[in-house]
Structure 1
């Protein structure tokens, strides 16, 4: 699928660029290997819609004003820490003859028999994989068939992925992507519940025999001092 996005040349920089946000625009920058940085502004709503589907693993034709479009990847999206709204976007301009690296999401299809029939718990350890390829070979996502997980001994590894020709996966082939853990037994649940109050009890200091004796001595000393003070006041 081909994605296209319109952008404007941006002149406002630094604190001045914040005024764009009030106008429904998002400041951004375009950079790349051997390319000059270009400041841009994007309409918020069209960009958010595109980003939801394209993500960071799809080529985008970026049209900047009347200039010829350039091929870019959405490289980084910054969000406001409180509102979650997008406040800045980085685009990486690619060269179609140079290899790039990208994080490609893993999509889990189907249902694991070990979950459906054996009551296991699906454990996903990887949801993205790093790949290297020419820009035109970049895939938007890689799929995993959960139907291969029939028992608790089964696991799907990176080596089981089938990327298209020209796409090289850069993480270790033996890394586990997804597996199924057996359900906890009643005994395990009881043991876990029993450990909870024990752990809480360990956190509470317990006064032993020695501690009680020390407390008694302190009480005697306090009592003697109080009697002395009382005698002084009476004598005075």
Structure 2
């Protein structure tokens, strides 16, 4: 069916029986690229429109082609939980002027909301990170009142750390070289042991022949 431009799928949800179906590959790829898995979409099944979320997309391990899709049908009056990606915008002075390194501790957050209120993503303005002491916490995220974030308010979302000093970089490089040398020595010891083993067996065999 994949060759015919169709992808097998299933639709299920609260209070409904799961139904197998097929979707047009080109149409799905276009929508999936635009909305991801956290935005409500309308799926036409048997001439009727269903409000669904793209719940799971299974991909081929070899070519990354989509082999199966799970759609979750929602009730518009019932709150649901979903993972929403964070979209980092703006520019940090601590990165631009001080050479700091931006550390994204969280890439997506779990939220709870009515289906119609689900955001496609949540913007995080990193221009607030002006020094190495600056942090953006979960409680700082700009979200509407209709959406509830399901992580700890004091969880760090993004921060900036100072760049490594020349001494730190030199020490790190030295550690890497030590590990490489250690691996090399271990490898040579194993080869030597393997080379000795056949010689010992040959010696044992000759001793047996003499007896």
TM score, norm. by length of structure 2: 0.85
Q: What is the distance in 1 between the residues matched to 2:18 and 2:178?
A: 60
Q: What is the distance in 2 between the residues matched to 1:52 and 1:22?
A: 20
Partner residue of 1:124 out of 104, 114, 118: 104
Q: Which runs of 5+ in 2 are unaligned?
A: 187-199
Q: What is the distance in 2 between the residues matched to 1:183 and 1:98?
A: 47
Q: What is the distance in 2 between the residues matched to 1:62 and 1:201?
A: 59
2:13 paired with 1:32: yes
Q: Secondary structure at the match of 2:2?
A: helix
Q: What is the distance in 2 between the residues matched to 1:91 and 1:193?
A: 49
The count of residues paired between Structure 1 and Structure 2 equals 189
Partner residue of 1:185 out of 155, 162, 165: 165
Matching residue of 1:70 = 50
Q: How does 1:190-205 map to 2 (within 5 A)?
A: 190-202=170-182, 204=185
Q: Secondary structure at the match of 1:22?
A: coil
Q: What is the distance in 2 between the residues matched to 1:82 and 1:39?
A: 25
Q: Which runs of 5+ in 1 are unaligned?
A: 1-19, 206-221
Q: What is the distance in 1 between the residues matched to 2:178 and 2:33?
A: 47
Deviation per residue, 1:100-120 (Å, 9 max, x gap):
000111101111100000001
Partner residue of 1:103 out of 67, 71, 83: 83
Matching residue of 1:47 = 28
Q: How does 1:136-151 map to 2 (within 5 A)?
A: 136-151=116-131
Q: What is the distance in 2 between the residues matched to 1:202 and 1:141?
A: 46
Once the two structures are TM-superposed, the CA of residue 160 in structure 1 deviates from its matched residue by 0.5
Over 6 Å off, 4+ runs: none
Q: Which has the larger radius of gyration?
A: 1
CA RMSD of aligned residues (A): 1.8
Once the two structures are TM-superposed, the CA of residue 202 in structure 1 deviates from its matched residue by 4.5
